[in-house]
Chain A
Amino acid sequence: MGLFETAAAKALASSGVFLFMTVLLIAAAKRISTCIALFSVQSLVITAQIIAVSRMHHSAEGFVVAVLVLTVKVVAIPYVLYRIVEELQAPRDVSSSTSASQSVFIAAGLILLSFFAVRPYVGVLGGDQAMLAAAVALVLTGGFLMVSRKKALMQVVGLLVLDNGIFLAALTTTFGMPLVIEIGIVFDLLMGVFLMGLFVFRIRDTFDHLDVSKLRRLRG
């Protein structure tokens, strides 16, 4: 058991690496389903972190939150998104305004930026520098995805990644908030995804395409 513990502890300490990998992969991804899967992986890593932190602080509430995040972010939301992709019967490529290598370069730049942004705050916020940098990188990448991808569903994925980043930042700095609040936050996110899914269908029905870069009727 001791070997497993140390192995798990070490793996968790370096789970920031996994998150950076997902950031780069999600930037390079060419299909919407790949991005959804990567979001699911990110949420899984975050769940593992929650479990590790809960064990460290012996908090039962933390395990409840972990189960919640697991069911909602790892399983439920990706499933809903997959179903939407299928129902839409639209081309499943990620229409991006930047090529794959450009996106990866930008994502790499964002990762470096997040490291430098986090450096002066490590003392103030507490928490591990690598994890905090990973959180900021997730936020920045989510924002980048929302801005550079032209498909409406990709904006939703970008938003989810951004939200993951903020959730992770909260996790590394505060080691969890009161249970009721956590439940409320996750529930809000779930509702938000449902609503956005609804709107994606409306966009498709009203405009006959899913390219948000063409939604420019309202300007000024």
Chain B
Amino acid sequence: MTLAMNAVQVLLLILLAPLVRGVIARLKARIQNRHGATVWRPYADLVKLFRKEDLVPDSASFVFRLAPIVVFATTLVVAAFVPLLHGSALLGVSGDFIFLVYFLALGRFFLMLGAMDGGSSFGGMGASREALVSTLAEAPFLLALMSVAILAHNGSIAGMVQWTIGQSFFQFSAVHALAFMALALVAIAETGRIPVDNPTTHLELTMIHEAMVLEYSGPSLALIEWASAIKLTVVMALLIALFVPWGIASSLSALALVVASLVLLLKIAALVLTLALVESSVAKLRMYLVPDFLGVASALAILAVVFTALMR
């Protein structure tokens, strides 16, 4: 029964990811006084792309065609690590937070390879920028997750969720606050949102992620776009699960699950709103300031880990 539930969780994540993206885009448009496209637009885009032809540059090798598949696969696996409605995850094992970080890194690695394999100069530029951002984001990502794991005495994300539910909401823990701030900054870098990267830009010189996928088309592009949406949703779900998991179903009864779904919807809505507001009010950082941004995240994450010793 739990297994089925967990599989449903993963399916939900996968299927709802484009909707999350659509809602964010619509909210941003509203905030900026535009109409914006309908929230179902990403689904329409995916359907359209799946029906189109996959064009491969002559100079590309098998890596170019392999990359989208690897990216999508790794993102699916990562989605299976995060508990959504219920305190366990499909692939939840002790130490899965490390898996999470490195599966995301694996996907990114292949994306970079594919971008360079495509042969365009923008692909190379995007890949090198992405390498910089991801290198700097890896340490705070791991450290922040580690600090929460140390406090919870548990190596799996599901375990951390269970521990956090047992704490009182009002007893603010310095470690969690610091880890949250660090992870929020890292999340922005990982998912390629403003102020690190603009997902809707059409100016190639300002692109990081978009530059890497310039050469892709058809189903390959669909897979990459979908994977990117899933990544965004997974990171959001991770933030919610680690820091505000109250409301998660403790039993598998229908009532508990319904309540958990509603609460989850609320939390995601709040995060989506925050992200839309932040993206509309903050300017994208110039590339040379991004290391500084991630340096702040690193400092916060290091402090979080040190605090686990102090708060004993």
**CB within 8 Å of B: which residues of A?**
6-8, 10-11, 13-18, 20-21, 24, 28, 99-102, 104-105, 107-108, 111-112, 115, 130
| A10 in contact with B310 given A99-B292, A101-B296 (CB within 8 Å) | no
Partner of B177, one of A10, A11, A17: A17
Interface string of B270-312 (1 = CB under 8 A from A): 0000000000000000000001111110111011001000100
| A108 in contact with B173 given A10-B168, A100-B293 (CB within 8 Å) | no
How many pairs of A and B residues are in contact by the CB < 8 Å rule? 69
B188 at the interface (CB under 8 A from A): no
Listed by A's residue number, 26 A-B pairs whose Cβ atoms lie within 8 Å are A6-B170, A7-B169, A8-B170, A11-B171, A11-B172, A13-B171, A14-B171, A14-B172, A16-B174, A17-B173, A17-B174, A18-B172, A20-B177, A24-B181, A24-B299, A28-B296, A101-B292, A101-B294, A101-B298, A102-B295, A104-B295, A104-B296, A104-B300, A108-B299, A111-B303, A112-B306
Alpha-carbon gap, A14 to B298, bound state (A): 24
Alpha-carbon gap, A16 to B172, bound state (A): 9
B299 surroundings in chain A (CB, below 8 A) = 24, 101, 104-105, 107-108
Alpha-carbon gap, A152 to B53, bound state (A): 62
Alpha-carbon gap, A20 to B300, bound state (A): 11
Alpha-carbon gap, A130 to B174, bound state (A): 10
With most chain B CB atoms within 10 A of its CB, the pick from A14, A17, A105, A130 is A17
> Which residue of B is nearest A25, CB measured?
B181
> Which residue of B is nearest A116, CB measured?
B310
* Closest Cβ–Cβ distance, residue A213 to chain B (whole Å): 21
> Which residue of A is nearest B295, CB measured?
A101
* Closest Cβ–Cβ distance, residue B198 to chain A (whole Å): 19
A99 surroundings in chain B (CB, below 8 A) = 292, 295
